[in-house]
């Protein structure tokens, strides 16, 4: 399978007066697994469909390898797509579904047979080739859809939320299978999902989209460790990051003293290189796993719900200011429900954002 990168230059898409994609630049390197992630309506599926050629590009250029494919037909772009709804042809057998594109391309029978059987072998579908899609389980149908993509030996695989219709257990299993498939084929893959766990586990590069813009891109853990704005910080990581409103109390030698709203007795000293003005309102971000229960001074949390998951537990509560807060505890059965706990962020694990959501470093 030949791998080729995908490059987008100032790509835009409008539906009438509505701008859905507002100038996206993007480089997906060859052989990489890229994931577009973002909330519903952020434009991630539209962007994928534009790469596939299923949506026209209003402005900008799309390159697959060195070829400008912006105005080429979907079939000529060298891409294959796996849809959320599988989009299998219900009147054809599994074999014929996989052979469809090759038959249209008038490939020799022997070649078709070889390719279909090879793909069926990779996807463990060899025993199901004569069945109709309706006779298969959800996971098997999705495998057929992937098989249909594999036989075409495309330059780029496109996945549009392919696991959304599967139950939780199957989703985890298919996720692993996709990761293995990527390793085996070495092809460039672009994957759209709203599930950030899928994004974190599958991606070489994540593109976080919102409002038709790429908010940030990078390796999953880079986005987790170093989000460039509040949206990315909140979107990457599960459970989501806590955000507390605060104000700048004073400037110190290497940063700022910060006072949390509703908890005037506690100040935090945070290192920032470009401190905001004194008295400026800011937002602090702290991940649930970075809040540690302490006996001393800290954030007082009234715990109202405790999610005990076995290995870890998530304690949900509120600060005195009314801001909601979640903190994580390792181990089981803490019995914190209904209690007031004091937590402190681990040093160096507090993110500072300005009032517009941009990161202050």
The conformation of residue 236, written as its DSSP 8-state character, comes to S
* Contact between 210 and 21 (Cβ < 8 Å): no
Which residue matches tokens 């985890």? Answer: 172
Residues contacting 229, CB < 8 A, separation 6+: 215, 216, 353, 357, 358, 359
**Closest by Cα among 181, 163, 183 to 172:** 163
Query: Taking CB under 8 A as the rule, does residue 91 contact other proteins?
Result: yes
* Residue 100 interacting with other proteins (CB under 8 A): yes
Query: Least distance (Å) from other proteins to the CB of residue 153?
Result: 13
**Sequence-distant (≥ 6) Cβ neighbours of residue 7 within 8 angstroms:** 26, 27, 28, 62, 63
Pick out residues in 211-240 that bind other proteins (CB under 8 A). none
CB of 148 to other proteins, least distance (A): 8
Q: Give the nearer residue to other proteins in terms of CB position, either 90 or 324.
A: 90
Give the dihedral sign, CA 160/165/171/174: negative
Helices 168-185 and 138-151, packing angle to 10 deg: 20
* Residue selected from 47, 79, 146, 248 as contacting other proteins according to rule CB under 8 A: 79
Residue written as tokens 């509703």? Answer: 262
Among 14, 85, 238, 302, binds other proteins (CB under 8 A): 85
Window contacting other proteins (CB under 8 A); options: 70-78, 179-187, 317-325, 330-338 = 70-78
Residue 101 vs 341, nearer CB to other proteins: 101
Count the site residues for other proteins by CB under 8 A. 22
**Which of 80/258 has CB closer to other proteins?**
80
CB of 113 to other proteins, least distance (A): 17
Give the residue among 178, 192, 108, 101 at the shortest CA–CA distance from 143.
Answer: 178
Question: Binding to other proteins by residue 104, rule CB under 8 A?
Answer: yes
Q: Does 108 bind other proteins (CB under 8 A)?
A: no
Applying CB under 8 A, does 73 fall inside the site for other proteins?
yes
Nearest to 256 by CA among 273, 244, 243, 269: 269
3-state SS class at 17: coil
Radius of gyration, CA atoms only, the chain: 24
Nearer to other proteins, 148 or 194 (CB): 148
Q: Least distance (Å) from other proteins to the CB of residue 138?
A: 15
Among 70, 101, 193, 215, interactor with other proteins by CB under 8 A: 101
6 lies in the site for other proteins, by CB under 8 A: no
Q: Catalog residues that contact other proteins under the rule CB under 8 A.
A: 52-54, 73-75, 79-81, 83-85, 87, 89-91, 100-101, 104-105, 148, 152
């Amino acid at each position: 399978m030949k791998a080729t990168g995908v490059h987008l230059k100032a790509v835009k898409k409008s539906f009438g007066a509505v701008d859905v994609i507002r100038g996206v630049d993007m480089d997906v390197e060859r052989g990489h697994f890229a994931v577009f992630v973002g909330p519903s309506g952020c434009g991630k599926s539209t962007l994928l469909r534009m790469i596939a050629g299923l949506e026209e590009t209003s402005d900008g250029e799309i390159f697959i390898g060195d070829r400008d494919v912006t105005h080429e037909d979907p079939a000529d772009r060298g891409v294959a797509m796996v849809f959320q709804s599988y989009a299998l042809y219900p009147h054809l057998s599994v074999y014929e579904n996989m052979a469809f594109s090759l038959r249209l391309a008038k490939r020799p029978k022997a070649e078709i047979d070889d390719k279909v059987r090879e793909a069926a072998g990779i996807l463990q579908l060899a025993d199901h080739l004569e069945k109709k899609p309706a006779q298969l389980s959800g996971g098997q149908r999705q495998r057929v859809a992937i098989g249909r993509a594999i036989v075409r030996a495309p330059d780029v695989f496109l996945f549009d939320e392919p696991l959304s219709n599967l139950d939780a257990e199957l989703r985890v299993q298919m996720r692993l299978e996709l990761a293995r498939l990527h390793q085996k084929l070495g092809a460039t893959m672009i994957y759209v999902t709203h599930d950030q766990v899928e994004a974190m586990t599958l991606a070489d590069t994540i593109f976080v989209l919102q409002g038709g813009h790429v908010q940030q891109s990078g390796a999953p853990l880079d986005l987790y460790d170093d989000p460039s704005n509040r949206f990315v910080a909140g979107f990457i990581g599960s459970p989501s990051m806590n955000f507390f409103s605060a104000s700048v109390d004073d400037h110190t030698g290497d940063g700022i003293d910060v006072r949390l709203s509703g908890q005037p007795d506690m100040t935090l000293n945070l290192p920032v290189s470009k401190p905001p003005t004194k008295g400026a309102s800011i937002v602090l971000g702290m991940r649930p796993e970075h809040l540690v229960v302490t006996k001393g001074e800290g954030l007082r949390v009234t715990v109202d719900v405790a999610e005990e998951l076995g290995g870890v537990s998530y304690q949900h509560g509120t600060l005195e200011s009314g801001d909601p807060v979640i903190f994580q505890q390792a181990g089981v059965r803490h019995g914190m429900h209904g209690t007031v706990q004091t937590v402190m962020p681990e040093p160096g694990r507090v993110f500072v954002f300005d009032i517009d959501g941009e990161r202050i470093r």
